[in-house]
Structure 1
Amino acid sequence: MTKNQTFSDFTDSLGILKGAFKARIRAAFKENDIPLTTEMLQVMRVLWKKDGVKQQEIADAISKDKVSIVYLLDNMTKRGFLERREDIADRRNKIIILTAEGKKMRSIVEPLLNELMADAVRNVSKDDLAKATGIFQTIIKTLQEG
C-alpha cells in the first residue's frame, strides 16, 4: 500500500470515527433529554472555553459557513441558550454570549461527554492517544501552511 493510499484510509477512518461518536452523543442526549444537536454542542463548547466571541470566530472554529452559522445561532437563541449583542467596536459584528441556560448546560453535558470519551478510548492507551494527536497536529499544520 502506498503512503497516499494509507493516508486515504486514515482520512476515511476519521470520517467514520466522527460519525460514530456523533451518533453516540445524539443517543446520549436523547436518553438524557438534552435539547442540543451535535452542531449546537460544537458552538457551546467554543463558548464554554471563551464566552463573548464574534460570530465569525465561532464559524471558523467549527468550520461552518456564514449562512449555516446564522441559522444555527438563530435556533440556539430561540431555545434560550445564547444571545447576540452588537460589537461596540464594529456594529457589523455580533458578539455571542451564553445565557444562564447556556451556562447551565455545561454542568449537564460535560460529565456525559467525559463518560462517552472514556468509553470510546477504553481500549487505547494514553501514549497511543498522545501519538495519534501528534500525528493529527502535524498533518493539520502541514495543510494549513499550504
Structure 2
Amino acid sequence: MELTECVNYLLSVSQNKVFKHFSGLLEQFGLTPAQYGVLNCLWREGQLSPKQIAESMHLEATTVSGVLDKMQKAGFVERSIDPGNRRNVWVVATPKAISIREQVESATAQMNQAALQNVSPSDRAALLRGLTAIVETEL
C-alpha cells in the first residue's frame, strides 16, 4: 500500500497541520487546542464532571485531569465538590473563559476555513461525514 493511501498517515499529517495552525490562533488567548475542547464542552453544557468531559472528547480521564489542572491554574475553569455526593466533582467555565468565547469561536471558524480552503463544499460535507463515521466506529 502506498503511504498516501494509508488512513493513519493521512489523518496524522492532516491533524498535525491543523493542530499547529489552531495552536497559533489560540496562543493569543493562552489556550491550547485541548483546552479549547474542554471549554467548548462547558460553554455548551454548563457544568460537567471530568468524566463527562473525557467521554465527550473521547479522551482518557487522566488526560482530562491534567488539562483541567492547567486550566484551573490559568483561571479558565473552576472545580467544586458536589455537596450532594462528595465523590463527584463539577467543572464550570469561569467569567474569564466566558468573556473570550466569541473570539475563540471566531478563531475556530478561521481555522476551519483555512484547513478546508482547497476543499469543495460537497467534499467538505463528505469529509465531515467520513471523519464523524471514524470517530463513531469501534476499533
Category of TM-score, reference length = shorter chain: 0.7 to 0.9
Gap change, CA 1:137 and 1:68, over 3 Å in 2: closer
Q: 1:107 aligns with which of 102, 106, 129?
A: 102
Q: Percent identity?
A: 23
SS at match of 1:97: strand
Contact 2:23 2:33 in 1 (8 A): yes
Q: State the partner residue of 1:93.
A: 88
Q: Displacement, 1:77?
A: 0.9
Q: Displacement, 1:27?
A: 1.8
SS at match of 1:53: coil
* Aligned residues between the structures: 138
* Per-residue CA distance 1:77-125 (angstroms, 9 max, x = gap): 1111111122344321111101100111212211112112112211112
Distance 2:82 2:21 in 1: 37
Q: State the partner residue of 2:129.
A: 134
Q: Identify the structure with bigger relative contact order (alpha carbons < 8 Å, sequence gap 6+).
A: 2
TM-score normalized with structure 1 length: 0.82
Q: Give structure 1 regions of 4+ aligned residues with deviation exceeding 6 angstroms.
A: none
TM-score normalized with structure 2 length: 0.85
Contact 1:85 1:96 in 2 (8 A): yes
5+ residue gaps, structure 2: none
Max radius of gyration: which structure? 1
Q: State the partner residue of 1:22.
A: 19
5+ residue gaps, structure 1: none
